[in-house]
Amino acid sequence: MMAPQKRSAAEAESLLVGVKCIVVDIEGTTTPITFVKDKLYPYVSDNLESYLKETYDEAETKKDITALRELAKKDKEESVEGAVEIPDAAAGKEEVIKGVVANVRWQMDNDRKSTELKQLQGHIWRQAYESGTLKGELFEDCAPMLRMLSEEGFMLYTYSSGSVESQKLLFANSSEGDLTEVFSGFFDTSVGQKTDPNSYKNIAKEINDDKPADEILFLTDSPEEAEAAVAAGWRSALVIRPGNADLTDEHLQNFACIEQFDELYGDEDEEDIKRMHQEDNGEAEEEDEEEVDEDEEEENEEEEGEGDGDDA
């Protein structure tokens, strides 16, 4: 991975100055890409057919299938290469399920981010989270920093290609506990695609009303998404994480780049953040006691030294 150019302290400090709302991407920003690619997606592939057979007659699944069928028809009409159609309900349960499985796997193989696909995926993941089969994975710095930002009055939101339900499930069932309470809202592609500036304008209308758009900071691993946010008047910073795609020199120069959320506060706050982490781990008090003991030892040594001098 290409290392980001070191930002100056002034640049680092400016990331939160004037910001009231922070919107975070998920995959590659708060959550490792490997969790999505190696755990979430395979779970859908492995359990898709059995899930559809089990829930076929439920209203939620019928709605999911209808949405996917309509998308497939649209893809065919637009001559999308490789598009897989889904039979009408009259074809029978078995044929419909075969069609849905083929369509979903085609979309996933092509890394499509359709709202219809994400909706079904979210419902399948719900079963896994509720059964304890899956636990949402976060980068180590995320949970403490998200809680800290929330406590300091920043309004936090997510914007991800995954459905709102799947986002809530990930943070509610994370390895760091339930984090949904730190967020004021969740957004998915129902507001628009993540590379479309209008999507960010739509979000701004909901979270910031008539206030300036530059009070919103967007954190993402995608330069294309960052550019769209900036085009909508937002601020944006690129988050560089293990496993993410390499950034070009141009991207590194055009955007502030951080490797951890701690860096949002700038260099001068690093000690405060470090202390915050230590307090969470019960380490700060121990270090303070050690420092007091060291000070007392130094004072005693000085007094003994002065006494020796007098005796001489």
- Enumerate the known binding-site residues for Mg(2+): 25, 27, 221
Q: What type of residue is 56?
A: Y
Rounded to whole angstroms, the Cα distance separating 40 from 72 reads 23
Identify whether the C-beta of residue 146 lies closer than 8 Å to the C-beta of residue 158: no
CA distances from 94 to 49, 68, 97, 117, 180 (A): 10, 16, 5, 20, 38
The helix (run of H) or strand (run of E) holding residue 95 is helix 93-109
- Annotated binding site, which residues? 25, 27, 160-161, 194, 221
Token pair, residue 147, equals: 């809680």
Token pair, residue 54, equals: 């089990």
Residue 284: partners with Cβ closer than 8 Å, 6 or more residues away: 275, 278
Rounded to whole angstroms, the Cα distance separating 136 from 210 reads 35
Rounded to whole angstroms, the Cα distance separating 203 from 212 reads 13
CA distances from 52 to 90, 118, 119, 216 (A): 17, 15, 14, 40
Token pair, residue 236, equals: 């944006």
- Annotated binding site for substrate, which residues? 160-161, 194
CA distances from 95 to 60, 72, 107 (A): 19, 15, 18
